[in-house]
Amino acid sequence: MVALLLAAVLPASAGFAAELVEQIVVRVNDRLITQSEFDKRLAIAARAPNHPTDPAEIERNVLEDLIKEKLLEERAKEMSVSATDEEVEAAVARVKAQYNLNTDAEFDAALAQSGMTRDELKRQMRQSITLQKVVGRDVASQLQLTDDQLRLEYERKKDQFYAVPESAHVFEIVLKFTPGDAEERQKAVGKAEAIRGGLKAGSNVSFPEIAKEQSEGTTRDRGGDLGTVSKGELVEALDAAIFVTPPDEYPPPALLSDSIHLFRVTDRKSSGYKPFSEVKEDLRKRIQDDLYEKRFSEYMDKLRRDAFVKIYVPELAKLDEKKAG
C-alpha cells in the first residue's frame, strides 16, 4: 500500500511504470478509493433522476457515499459477514424479472446499455447485500419495539394517522332547476319537502323507488344509493345536511345553486380511531423508519470517528469539510 501511495504522487518523469499506478483519492483505514472509481460513480450520479444541479454537491455526495461504503466494508470484514452466491443469484434474478428480461441475451444487452457487465453487476449485488447485512445487524436489529412502546406511540399519533371520520350510508334524490329562476327553484323545494314529508310519515313507496322515478342525479339507476359517505367527503352544504345534529334519517334538504338534494341517512357511525390491533404493524414501521435514519446517521458518524480517513485531493477535502460543518 505504501508503494501504491508513493507511486500515485511520483512526477511523470519517474517513468512509464509510475503512470500505470492510479491516483488515490481517499484512504479509509486500509481501503482505497481511486480516481477511476470516483469518476465512474460521479458519472452515474450525474445521470441519476433528480440529481443536484450543483456539480460540487454531486461530488460531495459521491465522496460521502464512497467513504461510507469503505467503512461498512471494513465492518463487514470485522464481523466476517458476506453475501452468499445463492443470495447474489437471487438478487440478479429479481433484477431480470423487474425489467422483464427473459433471456440472457436481453439481459446482457440491457447491461451493456448501462455500461456494465454481468460480472460487474454481481460484484455490486454482492457488495450491496453484504453491506445490508452489516447495517441489519448493527442498526436495524437495535430498533425492536415492545407493545408498551407501540401503544404509547399510538396514543400520541392516532389523531394524525388513525382518525376515522363519522360516516353513514346515504341515498339521495336530486331535483334540478335553472340557476337564477326563482319559480323553478321554489317548485323543486316544494317537491322535495313533499317527498320528505311523505317518507317521514311512513310512505308505502320506498326511497329507492322514488329516486328511480323522480331523481335527476347520477345515482338514479341505483335508487339514489351513494354508498358509505364519510364526513367531509362531499361539498360543505351536502355534508352539513347529511351529518345533521341530532341524527335524522330524512334530514332537511340541501339547496345548491342549481339543485336540491334530499337524503336518506342510515347506519350512521360516530368518529373514532382505527383499533391498535389493526394498525400495530403500520405503526411499528413508521417508528422504525423514523428511528432508522437517526440511528444510521449516528452509526456512520461513529464508524468514521473511529477510522483513519485521509482525502488526498484538496478540492474534495474542502467539500468534505463543508459537509461536516
Find cell 337524503 and name the residue.
263
pLDDT for 163 equals: 94
What is the topology classification, in CATH, of domain 163-273?
Answer: Chitinase A; domain 3 (3.10.50)
- Grid cell locating 68: 461510507
Q: Are strands 259-269 and 272-273 parallel, antiparallel or unpaired?
A: unpaired
Q: DSSP character for 142?
A: G
Rg from Cα positions in the chain: 34
Question: CA 300 to CA 28: how far, in whole Å?
Answer: 13
* Annotated domain spans of the chain: 83-138, 163-273
Q: What is the total residue count of the chain?
A: 325
**From first to last of its 325 residues, what are the pLDDT tens digits of the chain?**
333 332 333 333 334 344 456 899 999 999 999 999 999 888 888 888 888 888 899 999 999 999 999 999 999 999 999 999 999 999 999 989 998 988 888 988 888 887 788 888 899 899 999 999 998 888 887 778 888 989 998 999 999 999 999 999 999 999 999 999 999 999 999 999 999 999 999 888 999 999 999 999 999 999 999 999 999 999 999 999 999 999 999 999 999 999 999 999 999 999 999 999 999 999 988 888 888 888 888 999 999 999 999 999 999 988 888 766 5
pLDDT for 272 equals: 95
Query: CA-CA-CA-CA torsion for 100, 102, 107, 113, nearest 10 degrees?
Result: -50
Residue 170 has phi, psi (to 5 degrees) of -125, 135
Q: DSSP character for 313?
A: S
Find cell 454481468 and name the residue.
118
Task: Give the CA angle between residues 99, 105, 108 to the nearest 5°.
Answer: 65
pLDDT for 16 equals: 37
32 membership: H or E segment, kind and range: strand 31-34
